[in-house]
Structure 1
Amino acid sequence: MQLFFNPEITEKDTQVTFSRDESKHIVKVLRKSEGDILNITNGKGLIFKAEIIIADVKQCTIKIISAEKEPPPPYYLHMIVAPTKMNDRYEWFLEKAMEIGVHEITPIICDHSERKVVKLERYERVLLSAMKQSLHSRFPKLNEPVTFKDFMEKKLHGSKLIAHCEDVMEKPYLQKKVHPWQAVNILIGPEGDFSKEEIDLALKYGWEQISLGDSRLRTETAAIVACHTVAMKNQEL
């Protein structure tokens, strides 16, 4: 099964035209023609089955045959992850998080961050490609980058967990703090970890310290471990 993306489709539509880029991909690259059937998502949980009626590389037009709404996930995962020095490593995190299951992502700029500028358009393209490849029907919310201090002021729904490498007495493993069917926010720091001041500030704002295991992990690896742990916890029921 191939999955295509058109964010403008709604359940009320009967006929839709793709963007120029997607039209070119469908008609010129994949060589689809009139009468071919496509599976399409709008990134909001809807899967459409449609027939190509005009196979134009600039304006590929389809006729909607059916629409099916996929059930929402039983949990909500918000990953707040510091951008990595090497951009391809952060993009790897985005790709794998999309495949595993993530619902919101916030790049956070920390005291030890070596990369403080990110290109959200590129991140969106990585997420979109991974969404189609993994046949997901929901596109995660990708937030603007924010400083650690400013992020602490935000009101969040669900549990708030911060993973860091400091040696402290009370730092349970993530799997012990994740509860099925609930929302969870997880903070992952940059290379060099969070600063002591950032950890103290997070604790002041009600964040709970957690461990991802005994190994010292790269930023992107820690983020994927967290995504997988939450996803698996919600598949236990």
Structure 2
Amino acid sequence: MHLFYQPDIVSNEAIQRLTEEDSRHALKTLRLNVGDSIAVTDGRGNRYLAAIHSADARRCAFRITDTQTTPPRSFSIRICIAPTKNIDRIEWFIEKAVEIGIERISFFFGQHSERRLLKLERLEKIAVAAMKQSLQSYLPTLDEALPFGEFIKTVTEEQRFIAHLPTNEPPQHLLKRATLSGQYAVLIGPEGDFSEKEIQQAMAAGFRMVTLGPNRLRTETAGLMACHTLNVLNAE
């Protein structure tokens, strides 16, 4: 069944409408018509089983037939990542991280960041598309980018990690250091890595250093590796 996204569903109204973009996709691309079954999520854990009520390519109406609520996961993953110089790489990370499972993606500008501007509108569209493609009912939160010093004050998750591969003896792997069913935040540095000052700031803020393996990883690869590792740790 096709899954669509409508964040403004009014739960006590039987007839709702898809967004203009999803209306075009449903009727022009998928060639759905009146009476066809669809599923719609509000991105907050609710999924609505529905049937198309009127085939308007601008505001396709649907009638809700059933409502299902997916409870939040027993753990949450927040990847805190510096935007890459090539924006395609961070877009790839968002798409794959959402497909795997993630609750929040936060951006920061570090001392060695090459990109200093980030527009969330396109990134949010990529996250929505990945949520629908992977048939999930929760849309992750995407945070505006902040300078590292300001950003570090916003992290309150109980299990805080900074992914770093020092030249001396490496720290424990994230898989061994994280514990089950946690609220996780993992810091992933820019292409030029964290500065020494930023590492000290993170450690003072309660972050523990971890490694993601012996290889030097690109920023977006490291972010996805951290996301995947925490999902595997909590796999049932």
TM range (shorter): over 0.9
| Residues 86, 173 of structure 1: alpha-carbon distance in 2 compared, 3 angstrom cutoff | same
How far, CA to CA, are the matches of 1:95 and 1:155 in structure 2?
23
Q: Indicate the residue corresponding to 1:86 in structure 2.
A: 86
Q: Which runs of 4+ in 1 moved over 4 A?
A: none
Q: Indicate the residue corresponding to 2:57 in structure 1.
A: 57
Aligned-pair identity (%): 39
Supply the RMSD in Å over aligned alpha carbons: 1.2
1:162-177 equivalent positions in 2, closer than 5 A: 162-169=162-169, 171-177=171-177
Deviations 1:149-168 (A, max 9, x none): 10122251221100112234
Kindly state the Cα deviation for residue 170 of structure 1 after the two structures are TM-superposed: 6.4
1:230 and 2:221 aligned = no
Q: Indicate the residue corresponding to 1:14 in structure 2.
A: 14
Aligned-partner SS, 1:64: strand
Kindly state the Cα deviation for residue 13 of structure 1 after the two structures are TM-superposed: 2.8
Q: Indicate the residue corresponding to 2:126 in structure 1.
A: 126
How far, CA to CA, are the matches of 1:196 and 1:54 in structure 2?
60
What is the number of residues matched between the two proteins? 236
Kindly state the Cα deviation for residue 89 of structure 1 after the two structures are TM-superposed: 0.5
How far, CA to CA, are the matches of 2:152 and 2:168 in structure 1?
21
How far, CA to CA, are the matches of 2:211 and 2:170 in structure 1?
10
Aligned-partner SS, 2:25: helix
Kindly state the Cα deviation for residue 119 of structure 1 after the two structures are TM-superposed: 1.2
Q: Indicate the residue corresponding to 2:185 in structure 1.
A: 185
1:26 and 2:23 aligned = no
Structure 1 range deviating more: 145-154 or 160-169: 160-169
Please list every run of 5 or more consecutive structure 2 residues that lacks an aligned counterpart in the other structure: none
Alignment-mate amino acid for residue 3 of structure 2 = L
Q: Indicate the residue corresponding to 2:211 in structure 1.
A: 211
Alignment-mate amino acid for residue 136 of structure 1 = Q
TM-score normalised per structure 2? 0.96
Kindly state the Cα deviation for residue 135 of structure 1 after the two structures are TM-superposed: 0.6
Structure 1 range deviating more: 223-232 or 147-156: 147-156
Contact 1:108 1:148 in 2 (8 A): yes
TM-score normalised per structure 1? 0.96
Contact 1:81 1:108 in 2 (8 A): yes
1:48 and 2:40 aligned = no
Q: Indicate the residue corresponding to 2:101 in structure 1.
A: 101
Kindly state the Cα deviation for residue 232 of structure 1 after the two structures are TM-superposed: 0.5
